[in-house]
Homo-oligomer: A and B are copies of this chain.
Amino acid sequence: MYATQNIIDTLKGARVANGLSQRALSRRTGVPQSHVSKIENGGADIRLSSLIELARALDLDLRLIPRRAVPAVDGVMRSMTPSIAATPVVRDLNRILDVVRDLRIAYPDLGELKEIQESFQVLKTLRNVDREAEALRNTGRLIRKLQRSCRKLAGTGRGDAEQTEAVRNAAGIPSEQRHALRGAARALQDLRNKLLDAAPPLPSLPRPAYRLDDDEDG
């Protein structure tokens, strides 16, 4: 229920990046929309066959990779990604994402973090993030500030494990910062939608004219 989240996140990211609604994906795969929702929210420990079916519908391939080969594979993936690979912006974006992930462990019930993570996840897959360096930098600053006060709250900066164990609710966050966080989440979502509109939803689907026929979506 932990390492699984990576896979699930990727799945969701791919769905959104493809411009598919849960219902559209449901129609493609036969999996009920309600179940898609449950899966994406971590409410279901999906089976291998279902995972593969969903992945296939999203043009993804499931692979088991020897640990030794992981760095190399990651390198290739970065250079193949529709986005800009090693751009400073993307690098930044990944760093922020790491912090967000940590924070989400410390504050599991802080919904804004989840939204922010999801936005980042999608932004990473877009080829025109580069133009929004400024906006992303701002969010990054906010996140890091939050991380600092999280550390402070956790007491006298001990090991990571104890830290995340120490602060387990959102109550400790100053309402001022909480407000800023909320704003950032909204801003990121807007940014994401803007870029999603501007960017073609990935040129990868092996289906004819999927935006023209209304087989998909509403």
Which residues of A does B touch, CB under 8 Å?
1, 3-4, 7-8, 10-11, 14, 45-49, 51-52, 55-56, 59-70, 72-73, 75-77, 79-81, 204, 206
* A51 to B10 alpha-carbon distance, docked (Å): 17
Least CB distance, A160 to chain B, in whole angstroms:
20
Complex-state Cα separation, A55 to B66, whole angstroms:
9
**How long is the Cα–Cα vector from A81 to B68 in the complex, in angstroms?**
9
Q: How many copies does the complex hold?
A: 2
Interface centre among A1, A79, A80 (most CB of B within 10 A): A80
Q: Is A48 in contact with B47, judged by CB distance below 8 angstroms?
A: yes
Q: Which residues of B contact A52 (CB under 8 A)?
A: 3-4, 7
Contacts of A204 in B (CB 8 A): 66-68
Q: How far is the CB of A2 from chain B (nearest CB, A)?
A: 9
Instruction: Report how far A10 CA is from B59 CA in the complex, Å.
Output: 21
Q: How far is the CB of A167 from chain B (nearest CB, A)?
A: 26
Please measure, in the bound complex, the distance between the C-alpha atom of A65 and the C-alpha atom of B81, giving whole angstroms: 10
Interchain CB contact under 8 A, A45 and B45: no
Given contacts A4-B49, A48-B46, contact A59 B66 (CB under 8 A): yes
Q: Which 10 A-B pairs have the closest CB atoms?
A: A69-B80, A60-B64, A10-B64, A3-B52, A45-B47, A61-B65, A72-B76, A59-B67, A46-B48, A4-B48
Are A63 and B68 in touch, CB under 8 angstroms? no
Closest B residue to A11 by beta carbon equals B64
Q: In the complex, A109 Cα to B156 Cα: how many Å?
A: 65
Task: Assess the B56–A60 pair: CB atoms within 8 A.
Answer: no
- Inter-chain contacts of A8 with B (CB < 8 A): 48
CB-defined contacts of A62 to chain B, threshold 8 Å: 3, 7, 62-65
In the complex the two chains form, is A63's CB within 8 Å of B66's CB? no
Is there an interface contact between B65 and A64, defined as CB atoms closer than 8 Å? no
Q: How far is the CA of A109 from the CA of B56 in the complex (A)?
A: 28
Point out which of A4, A11, A65, A72 has the most chain B C-beta atoms below 10 A from its C-beta: A65
In the bound complex, residues from chain B placing their C-beta under 8 Å from that of A70 are: 61
When distances are taken between beta carbons in the complex, the residues of chain B under 8 Å from A67 are 59-61, 204, 206
